[in-house]
Amino acid sequence: MELWNKKYPDFIGYNCRITAFDLMKDKISVKADAKVNASNLFMDQDALKHAPAKKFTKKQKHAFETLYSTLNTAYTTDVDTHIKKQKKAWKQNEVKISGTKASLITVVFHSSFGENENELFIGHAGILVPTKDKKLLFVTEQSMCKLVAGSEFDVLKRTTAATKLQEGDKILYLAVAELETTLVLRSQKNYFLRFATEDIPEKKKGAVGVRGMRLGDGELLTDVWQLNNEKEEIIMIKEKAVHLNRLRIANRDTRGVKK
């Protein structure tokens, strides 16, 4: 690590947006003269500028900045309004993904500084590979959980909402649900709850889900682990080791234990 930092002292590393686009870049096309607002991509631009090797061509960089371009939006918390804004912008800029069954998943943030300053920008991105015979596990910061059949994401539309969130909520964890595993949720106040993954019901992708851990007022989840019997997970809290696999398996929708 020291040798790497010495050789590339200004390289901050690739983030999720860069990595996701890199995996899909040959499948993504945009309008040649698309309007771009890259004001929120300053860290991405810095990473690409100081990278050990050139990552994208000029055409690919334009597609990258078009895909992740910041948009002006309305002063509202209505999610459907913002979804329509994002879809309209991608349609105007002819953002298309073709030649693959994989999907690009983007988490769009609404930044509001008042009635006249509202923006949408993509704060997180990832790639969803088709898993028709498996289920996807969603967990949010507000502790809403659900299992969704992989076939739910085999859609004809180029852009579709991957999930529904409550106001102010964000996706914290998204993974393929494994058989015979347990889920460990950790809250901001260091409460831990472990329960069987199968205790989470299967829902449609448009459903909010069910509560995993009972949280206090204003409290959010910070971490999620899906455990199996093959690997022991240990974390440190104030120099004290917490063995996640040794936590008692409890019921979903309970408070958990303080550590």
Residue range 125-135: average pLDDT? Answer: 79
Residue with the larger pLDDT of the pair 238 and 131: 238
Q: What is the pLDDT of residue 196?
A: 96
Q: Is the pLDDT of residue 158 over 60?
A: no
List own/partner pairs for 88-96 with CB under 8 A and 24 or more apart. 90/159, 92/31, 92/34, 93/30, 93/31, 93/34, 93/35, 93/66, 93/69, 94/29, 94/30, 94/31, 94/34, 95/28, 95/29, 95/30, 95/31, 95/34, 95/66, 95/67, 96/28, 96/29, 96/30, 96/158
Tokens 């240990």 label which residue? 234
**What is the per-residue pLDDT across 109-118, written as a single tens digit (0 to 9) for each?**
999 999 999 9
Q: What is the pLDDT of residue 247?
A: 96
**What is the per-residue pLDDT across 10-48, written as a single tens digit (0 to 9) for each?**
999 999 999 999 999 999 999 999 999 999 999 999 999
Residue range 89-94: average pLDDT? Answer: 96
Q: Is the pLDDT of residue 3 over 90?
A: no
Q: List all residues 6 or more positions away from 89 whose beta carbon is below 8 Å from its beta carbon.
A: 69, 71
Q: Is the pLDDT of residue 121 over 70?
A: yes
Check if the beta carbon of residue 188 is closer than 8 Å to that of residue 222: yes
Q: What is the pLDDT of residue 250?
A: 97
Residue range 92-105: average pLDDT? Answer: 90
Q: What is the pLDDT of residue 128?
A: 81
pLDDT-derived band at 66 (thresholds 50, 70, 90) equals very high
Beta strands in the chain (DSSP E): 28-29, 71-72, 96-97, 103-112, 118-128, 135-140, 144-149, 171-176, 182-187, 191-196, 210-211, 221-227, 234-237, 240-243, 257-258
Quote the CA–CA distance of 124 and 98 in Å, as a whole number.
21
**What is the per-residue pLDDT across 197-232, written as a single tens digit (0 to 9) for each?**
999 999 998 899 999 999 999 999 999 999 987 788
Q: Is the pLDDT of residue 156 over 70?
A: no
Q: Is the pLDDT of residue 133 over 80?
A: no
Quote the CA–CA distance of 185 and 206 in Å, as a whole number.
23
pLDDT-derived band at 71 (thresholds 50, 70, 90) equals very high
Tokens 């309004």 label which residue? 81
Q: Is the pLDDT of residue 167 over 70?
A: yes
